[in-house]
Amino acid sequence: MKQNFENSDNICPGYYYYDSKLAITPEELQDLYRFTRWGRSRSLEQIEKMLEGTSMCFSVRYNGKLVAFCRIITDFVYRGSLWDILVHPDHQGKGLGSSLLRYALNHPVIKPVPLIVTYTSELIDFMCKLGFETRDGLLIMQRRPIEYS
């Protein structure tokens, strides 16, 4: 679903928000990943498979170009996990990341989910401003090294 929130407070004017994987292509998402240290080595095949297994994708376009993206994996009842928060460098510092996350977290199928988790070492302060908090008890099983190119 395409939505323009130009008349809403907290939303960036001129940007169009989408809540479907069909609103993006693996190629343009790969292009957006190249601006991250952790995602630039992702292949098109990996991105296609990732999108297939993702519950909800949220994206933002400006003048038709993909400029922001995040995704949530969820059972739609109890838990969700937020991943891959991306904003093109030319569009950072305008509140777009915050508005994308508000759009995703307040989406009608995500808002009822009582627990949303995320993992980040770089965006802790940013995420806390949006209602996330750090918690003890986090356990991770890492089956292989994570490649950061």
Q: Domain total for the chain?
A: 1
Domain that includes residue 79, residue range: 2-129
**Would 27 be classed as within a structural domain?**
yes
Q: For residues 44 and 27, is the Cβ–Cβ distance under 8 A?
A: yes
Q: Are strands 2-4 and 15-18 parallel, antiparallel or unpaired?
A: antiparallel
In the predicted structure, residue 82 carries a pLDDT above the cut 50: yes
User: Which of these ranges, 8-17, 86-95, 102-111, has the smallest mean pLDDT?
Assistant: 8-17
Q: Answer yes or no: is 59 within a domain.
A: yes
What's the predicted TM-score (pTM) here? 0.86
Residue that is written with structure tokens 């995420």 in the block: 127
At 52, which CATH number?
3.40.630.30
- 136 lies in some domain: no
Interval 50-79: pLDDT, tens: 999 999 999 999 999 999 999 999 999 999
Whether residue 77 lies inside any domain: the answer is: yes
Q: What is the pLDDT of residue 21?
A: 95
Q: Which residues does residue 57 pair with via DSSP β-bridges, in sequence order?
A: 71
3-state helix/strand/coil string of 13-59: CCEEEECCHHHCCHHHHHHHHCCCCCCCCCCHHHHHHHHHCCCEEEE
